[in-house]
Amino acid sequence: MGIRKKLLGQILCDKKFLDHPQLDAALAVQGKDKHRKLGHILIELGYITADQLDEAIEGQSSLSQGCRC
């Protein structure tokens, strides 16, 4: 069975940096402009900080590399 990469929005929600209505709002913005990255939208909307985004991306990378931390 392969390792499945966890979605950024789910990681942010799991870490309580973001709630589901905020994620839905950001995804709606992204749906109108597919070229914008979700993390940047979340920061622009004031939902998360750059540090929180970095932490979530770091966690996402660890998960995709098979870390069981």
pLDDT tens for 21-51 read: 999 999 999 999 999 999 999 999 999 999 9
For residues 64 and 6, what is the distance between their CA atoms, to the nearest angstrom? 8
Q: How far is CA 24 from CA 10, 17, 30, 35, 55, in A?
A: 11, 14, 10, 17, 20
Per-residue pLDDT, 55: 96
pTM of the model: 0.80
